[in-house]
Amino acid sequence: MKRLRYIVVFAVACGSRNDTTCEQVAETARAIHPGAYRLTLDHCKAKQWPESTRACTVAAKTRTEFTACRGAHLVVEAPPDLPRVAELPRARPVVVEVHADGTLMVDNKPVTLSDLEALFAETAKRDADTQIVLQAEAATASRQVDDIVQRANAAGLKHLAFASTGQ
């Protein structure tokens, strides 16, 4: 008795090729999400979705089924009350002053390296995209600035800016 070595499964769309239109796809999209008709229609036409994708999406009953179709995207407009990126609150930068004598200041208060590490860890946990500004006096040893940069990076903060004062 021979054993079956391969099973080949073909997904075949109902009907003949090229009988599913982008308009049908958009109608299905509208049934899944009311605001999806126009943008999904435009995307289907512009990207020239293949028949297999169009047939798959027309058979979909849910958003998950629709987007599982290879190459299909349920394109919807953003809600009008969604804030724009520029309107989102941004964390204010953390400014670290590095004096030539080794003194570190944050918000005009002296801090130690361990205080700074804790501040960096807390800041990264709250928003890893927070900018760290290092203001170093010209006479500050570069290894001290490098040490602070390494501590910021170790905490997960990658947005660093440097400023030098002439003192």
21-38: per-residue pLDDT in tens?
Answer: 889 988 888 888 777 888
Using a 10 angstrom Cβ sphere, with 0-12 exposed, 13-18 middle and 19 or more buried, the burial of residue 143 is exposed
Reduced to 3 states (helix: H, G, I; strand: E, B; else coil), residue 106 is strand
pLDDT at 6 over 60: no
What is the per-residue pLDDT across 54-96, written as a single tens digit (0 to 9) for each? 888 888 888 788 778 877 766 666 666 665 655 555 678 899 9
Can you list the domains of the chain with their CATH numbers?
Answer: 7-80 (no CATH), 85-165 (3.30.420.270)
Q: Which of the four pLDDT bands, split at 50, 70 and 90, describes residue 118? A: very high
Q: Which of the four pLDDT bands, split at 50, 70 and 90, describes residue 8? A: very low
Its pTM stands at 0.48
Give the CA count within 13 Å in the CB-facing half-sphere of 20: 23
- Give Cα separations from 98 to 102, 122, 155, 166 (angstroms): 7, 20, 19, 12
- Give Cα separations from 99 to 8, 14, 96, 120 (angstroms): 71, 75, 10, 19
Q: Which helix (H) or strand (E) holds 5?
A: none
